[in-house]
Structure 1
Amino acid sequence: MSISHNKVTGAFALLDSLVRHNVEYIFGYPGGAILPIYDELYRWEKSGKIRHILSRHEQGSAHAADGYSRSTGKVGVCFATSGPGATNLVSGIATAQMDSVPLLLITGQVARPFIGTDAFQEVDIFGITLPIVKHSYVVRDPRNMSKIISEAFYIAQHGRPGPVLIDVPKDVGLEKFVYNPIDPGQVFLLGCRPFLKPNNKQIIKFIKLLENSSQPLLYVGGGSIISGAHQVIKELAVKFQIPITTTLMGKGIIDEKDDLSLGMLGMHGTAYANFAVSESDLLIALGARFDDRVTGKLDEFACNAQVIHIDIDPAEVGKNRIPQLAIIGDINNVLQDIMDYIENNQNILYTTDQTRSWRERIDLWKHQYPLLVPTNVNTLSSQEILSSLCIMEPNAYFTTDVGQHQMWAAQFLNVLPRHWISSAGLGTMGYGLPAAIGVQIAYPNEKVVCVSGDASFQMNLQELGTIAQYNLPIKIIIINNKWQGMVRQWQQAFYGERYSHSNMEKGSPNFIELAKSFGIAGFELTLRKDIDTILESFLNCNGPCLLDCKVTEDDNCYPMVAPGKSNAQMIGIIKQSKVTNSLLN
């Protein structure tokens, strides 16, 4: 939209700045204080420059913008009004902050003269969100709008990504002024320093540590996904034959069917990944933060290993584990520099023979302690459903909620980079369904599957309305065990089987009838023999559809590292020699 007058409103400047930053979609919900912006948005949508996706709850808007961002690598944009509209974003903002997702959250605010008077729907959203944003603004002067938007995009994406909040008083959106737009690339902030390339001394130390290792392990986190480092990590792993284990956020960095892949490590990681990290003599951490769900008892985590830590955020290096070598920078760029140095210096003493016995030992663990799929003919297991789903949809985008189903999905779904969309750090129930909306909006022609639990699904089930309104062909699988599954498992294991308020059977809706009330097709799966047939019909259904899987109620997610225990002290692992016909093919 061209600027036809010398003076424009603050709302115009905001929309124009978003379009200049190539924003295609906004997820949001209108309200009184943000109406000037929505009124301007009406005209921009009419011109075809931008599109707004109406959620049914502001938390849904934030999670949808988050899913859009994780799957595309772009900044997700979200609108909400003042007061409860803004506070409803808080869980979504914290989710994005914990998982390093670049979001731009624009909230309406009461007019400037009323700020601080406890006006109708006034809250200090700037102050409320201060600990959970990368940066935040209150726009006091509309002439600063374009500059603030440009800075916000820069901050959200620079270094370790994160959410940025911009609070816009109602009268700022209405005030007219002479507009001087700022285009992308015209803003540079002194506080956002460029990252230096690793120097030769660091690279040589990296190589020396590798040369002295006979049991190296790559420990790969979400920072590697964010940097797009999957190709160079694969090259490093293959060249030196180093096994790879990933965090929940690092899923997709490698094909988990690859011989070098150990899957996920940590509390519900594979037994062989946890054994490997416990026995490793060199741990190469790439974009990972030594989270407590990964490390277990911290002082026993990789206690025999030298540590190389490469991360873009200096605050993470040495926070939980002091490394022998630290390199600050973008994972992809740092590893490319290391690989280039190695290619140009052929006098490296490392040979793949020195890790042969290590890899053979890991292969033995893989055969001794595989991930198990229960195959009791009389029960329906979540693991078998997800295993079949993975075979049928190897290229799909998967979103999840939080709980047992999330961990089973992490164990049994083999995904491509940026095809795994899950709340990891905050563990936000209700995330999966709205996140799937953001992914499907980004990729309208791709298969998007939301794996949820019956408890998690009820957190944000109102977003079925958004799916119905835009006819988004999202496939929703509910792993329905009638419980808050992970809570029940912990109550069973650590709280004397006192199941305090974790049963969800009473009061739960008929999920199929609920879906139908929104015009969404519904399927039910109750028998093991029907898994493949019903999954195929469900996945090939035109438009959105929901599958209610009535799985075993008391099944637990194993392996499991109990709180305060080391990763090698897992419960629920069984040697293959004691199990027949139970392996994941």
Structure 2
Amino acid sequence: MEYRMSLTLTQAVPQNEIATCELLLDYLEKIGVEYVFGIPGGAIEPLYNALAKSEKRGGIKAITARHETGAVFMADAYARNTGKLGVCCSTTGPGATNMVTGVASSFENNTPLLVITPQASQDKVGKKALQESGDTGVNIPGMFQFFTKYNSYVTHVGQFEHKLVSAIMSAFSMPGGPTHLNIPTDVLKSHIPPKQHPVNINNLLSRPYLKDEKAIQALISELRHSKKTIFVIGAGAKGCSRLITDCINDLGIEFVATPDGKSFINPYHPAYKGVIGFAGHKSASKALQSDAVDSIVLIGSSLGEFNSNAWDQLSLLNNKLIHIDNNEDNLTRSSMAKLQVGGHIPTILEAILENNRTQIKNKEKISTKSVIDKTQLFADICIDNQKKLHFELDDSTKTKDRSSPLKPQFLMAQLTQLFPPNTRYLADNGNNMAWAVHYLNPYDRRFSGRRSSQRDQKDRRAFSAGLLQINTEFCSMGWSVGSAIGTALAHPNDPVLCIVGDGSFLMSGNEITVALQEKLNIIFLVMNDQHLGMVKHGQRLNKSADIANTLPNISYALMASAMGIMSHTIETAVDLLQLDTNKICERKGPTLLDVRIDAEEVPPIATRLKGMK
């Protein structure tokens, strides 16, 4: 039986009372939420009735996904890119279970989400109602309890507002993460009397920044006495790009990035030595292992397998480490560090800058000549503007190799030349993520130390935005297709380039029709090698059986064309370089590029193999 059943609801509204679902949307509007991502069905229809009213008055809009996992990935990306709450919903039973992978991924990446699933009306519970999803059926709240920060079954309308507020607050509490409300249909249909003292949700979400003064002073002392310091920029550096820029320039230090921290740095800065971790650069390892380095300052990282170079004790996890983080759980993985500094990361960085500038002012008072020589700084900026790399690629010659089928290295190097500077890149899990982390280097002025004027704003991104978004930790294949939609809705004026392998695209490619329906400017670049590439190369490098890694030769361009989406097949360098990317980026709708790549090129995945041993 089809599980997304339609249901028409008619109910008189009691005087001076508000419908439960309208109250829900009222709370979401107050905190700036613009979209609810999901798939409708009978049990969740009261919420969609409220959304229909909301859309008519220009309020929150419903975005219909093609699969519930895609809806979660859309909400996740919207939250990542805006800092707002991501909201997603499903109907009962399989609608709810389909969300599990996406919610688990958000939990691992600390993304603030509100997940709403309905339940059979309470008078039907225990009677084998259609898609019953409580403790007497398939226990949906029981499933979600393992990867949510707050998880509750709303058993009475009187609980609804309190549990809703608790879920929203929990989603934003440090570290962020998904929360879940399972709400029976009779509660969703109900009405609630107005509170005598309304809840101010924005006040509740405002929290004081934690500042450990003793740890900060210890950090400043360590930096003052350090002979050579190097920064490691992790994903927790989101929103700190300017402060990190100033620290690097003022202190004159080198820096590297974790794979997910690469989103928040300019790879053309002269002091940047590359990525440490999955698909990283040898120059980053060399910089960290230098005998001259006595302080490694890690800023905001989980220190998981991908971000720690498979728990590399030689480069990172040693007694040179100073770990700055706002997530206490992350600090449990750096017990070997000589110093841990917990708290609000921008506040800690501001303290470093303030102390350094105070020291400089004191020296200037003593000296008749300024101790700051800005000649080198301006020279660095000039070098930065040339967009030259100052770190080592594994095989830089192949970034210029125009042979066919296309070398992935060449493809990655060309993308930032073909697409405008405000392009937002997403790289799905698999070989394409390894190629992107290593060879794709979008340019951003945030790390050049300059302020942008209004006229060149298009060549600049908001400090909190990620240049290259990847999904580490849970590493769900196919996440990027839905995430590209959430990213495009968050940033409607910027083109979004979704780099996805053919294996991942076959998992979730139907979500591209959402981009068509919503007229979103997304370029879906399918790296087509007719294989599960990371599986194939992993098997070969590990000398395992070569099995179950082949895919059929599919024309994804024809598939997209059948859906009404503009598409191109790219087989040669000429095909790629002749693309009218200006026209593509001005299109009100998606484009698909079916790029035939060299399946024999081995991606930089040695760290992953090391972690498997």
Q: Same fold (TM over 0.5)?
A: yes
Who is 1:437 aligned against?
Answer: 485
| Partner amino acid, structure 1, of 2:410 | E
Q: 1:442 to 1:565 in 2, by over 3 A?
A: closer
Deviation at 1:170, TM superposition (A): 0.7
One of 11, 17, 39 as aligned partner of 1:7 = 17
Deviation at 1:433, TM superposition (A): 0.9
Deviation at 1:175, TM superposition (A): 1.9
Secondary structure in 2 matching 1:266: coil
1:84-104 deviations in Å (ceiling 9; x for gaps): 111111111111111111111
Q: 1:495 to 1:117 in 2, by over 3 A?
A: farther
Secondary structure in 2 matching 1:310: strand
Q: Is the 8 A contact 1:17 1:146 kept in 2?
A: no
Work out the CA distance in 1 between the residues paired with 2:572 and 2:330: 47
Q: Give matches, 1:495-506, under 5 Å.
A: 495-496=543-544, 498-505=545-552
1:204-251 deviations in Å (ceiling 9; x for gaps): 3213322343342211111111xx111111111111122221122212
Q: 1:120 to 1:561 in 2, by over 3 A?
A: same
Tell me, yes or no, if structure 1 residue 326 matches structure 2 residue 340: yes
| Partner amino acid, structure 2, of 1:503 | T
Q: Give matches, 1:211-360, under 5 Å.
A: 211-225=224-238, 228-279=239-290, 280-293=293-306, 294-302=308-316, 305-346=319-360
Work out the CA distance in 1 between the residues paired with 2:194 and 2:397: 63
Secondary structure in 2 matching 1:132: coil
Secondary structure in 2 matching 1:60: helix
Q: 1:367 to 1:453 in 2, by over 3 A?
A: closer
| Partner amino acid, structure 1, of 2:604 | Y
Who is 2:204 aligned against?
Answer: 187
Deviation at 1:371, TM superposition (A): 4.7
Deviation at 1:277, TM superposition (A): 2.5
Who is 2:407 aligned against?
Answer: 381
Deviation at 1:440, TM superposition (A): 1.2
Work out the CA distance in 2 between the residues paired with 1:377 and 1:248: 27
What stretches of structure 2 of length at least 5 have no aligned partner? 1-12, 364-370, 381-387, 445-464
| Partner amino acid, structure 2, of 1:50 | I
Who is 1:577 aligned against?
Answer: none
Tell me, yes or no, if structure 1 residue 398 matches structure 2 residue 425: yes
Who is 2:90 aligned against?
Answer: 80
Q: Give matches, 1:29-178, under 5 Å.
A: 29-116=39-126, 118-121=128-131, 122=133, 123-178=138-193
Q: 1:7 to 1:193 in 2, by over 3 A?
A: closer
1:268-320 deviations in Å (ceiling 9; x for gaps): 10111122223343111111121122232444343665211111111221324
Q: 1:368 to 1:258 in 2, by over 3 A?
A: same
Who is 1:527 aligned against?
Answer: 572
Tell me, yes or no, if structure 1 residue 28 matches structure 2 residue 54: no
Work out the CA distance in 2 between the residues paired with 1:290 and 1:213: 23
Q: Is the 8 A contact 1:14 1:145 kept in 2?
A: no
Work out the CA distance in 2 between the residues paired with 1:177 and 1:450: 43
Deviation at 1:150, TM superposition (A): 2.7
| Partner amino acid, structure 1, of 2:432 | H
Q: Is the 8 A contact 1:69 1:103 kept in 2?
A: yes
Q: Give matches, 1:451-462, under 5 Å.
A: 451-462=499-510
Who is 1:513 aligned against?
Answer: 558
Q: 1:330 to 1:513 in 2, by over 3 A?
A: same
Work out the CA distance in 2 between the residues paired with 1:515 and 1:327: 50
Tell me, yes or no, if structure 1 residue 549 matches structure 2 residue 595: yes
One of 410, 417, 435 as aligned partner of 1:408 = 435
Work out the CA distance in 1 between the residues paired with 2:486 and 2:26: 22
Work out the CA distance in 2 between the residues paired with 1:298 and 1:131: 29
Work out the CA distance in 2 between the residues paired with 1:484 and 1:367: 28
1:21-78 deviations in Å (ceiling 9; x for gaps): 2221111101122112112222222222211111111111000111111111211111
TM-score (norm 2): 0.83
One of 366, 378, 394 as aligned partner of 2:391 = 366
Work out the CA distance in 1 between the residues paired with 2:143 and 2:23: 26
| Partner amino acid, structure 1, of 2:409 | Q
Work out the CA distance in 2 between the residues paired with 1:493 and 1:244: 31
Identity of aligned residues (%): 27
Q: 1:455 to 1:130 in 2, by over 3 A?
A: same
Who is 1:464 aligned against?
Answer: 512
Work out the CA distance in 1 between the residues paired with 2:344 and 2:219: 16
| Partner amino acid, structure 2, of 1:561 | T
Work out the CA distance in 2 between the residues paired with 1:412 and 1:340: 36
Work out the CA distance in 2 between the residues paired with 1:45 and 1:347: 56
Q: Is the 8 A contact 2:211 2:348 kept in 1?
A: yes
| Partner amino acid, structure 2, of 1:143 | G
Which deviates more, 19-28 or 5-14?
5-14
Work out the CA distance in 1 between the residues paired with 2:94 and 2:558: 30
| Partner amino acid, structure 2, of 1:157 | F
What stretches of structure 1 of length at least 5 have no aligned partner? 567-585
Secondary structure in 2 matching 1:77: strand
Secondary structure in 2 matching 1:512: helix
Work out the CA distance in 2 between the residues paired with 1:465 and 1:370: 37
Aligned residues: 548
